Amino acid sequence: MRFRRVRSIPLLAVVAALTACGGRAADSTLIRESFDSGDTYSRTVPGAPGQACEAARRTLLSQGYAIARAGDDAVEGNKNFQPKDDEHEQLVLRISCAPRGDQALVFVSAVQDRYALKKSPTSASVGVGALGSVSLPFGSNDDSLVKVASSTVQDASFYRRFFERLQQYLPAAAVPEPAPAAAPAPAAAVEATPATVVSDTPASLH
């Protein structure tokens, strides 16, 4: 009886193959996220953290946001949108204020949540004699909003406009005024020298 010789596959090759397959699945947005040195989500502003957070609160109020939380170190506000009859969007801004020397470091992050209207038809039992009861759907619906997406806003211009608006609500004492232009030096005063009067009249002879 002849036996076939089966080659054994090295375990390392199997692990490498599985790792390659898992690598494709792991190549997601989380892996591609980079902690760069940009200042999209933060700015250093003059004043104390409490003043910066108060300015952030007023910035949100000026744009129609509802304030959910406000303090000396954090502010949170939200604003609702309805682009379509069956769609709803909510923008949530979270601001944190921290000391940085004699200034304040302000962090802001905006999250956009999207909701869709889901209709659930209600049913009721209807008696049909000997057949018993049959559950039939009626026209009334129990409508509910279901979250279908949530993402962090990454538009740099959005955050730039926020910080520009925040600067307008900082206390006047916290915002340094531009240095006045140097006044021109006064011209040197010329000392008046009494003029010598020369008389054309000859002196009297004695």
Structural domains in the chain plus CATH codes: 36-167 (3.30.310)
Non-local (6+) Cβ contacts of 109 within 8 A are 41, 93, 94, 152
Global pTM value:
0.61
Mean pLDDT, the chain cut into blocks of 10 residues (206 residues total):
50 47 57 77 96 97 97 97 89 97 96 87 53 51 81 94 96 66 57 51 48
Q: How far apart are CA 60 and CA 159, in angstroms?
A: 12
Q: What Rg value do the Cα atoms of the chain yield, rounded?
A: 39
> What's the pLDDT score for residue 91?
96
Q: How far apart are CA 24 and CA 33, in angstroms?
A: 16
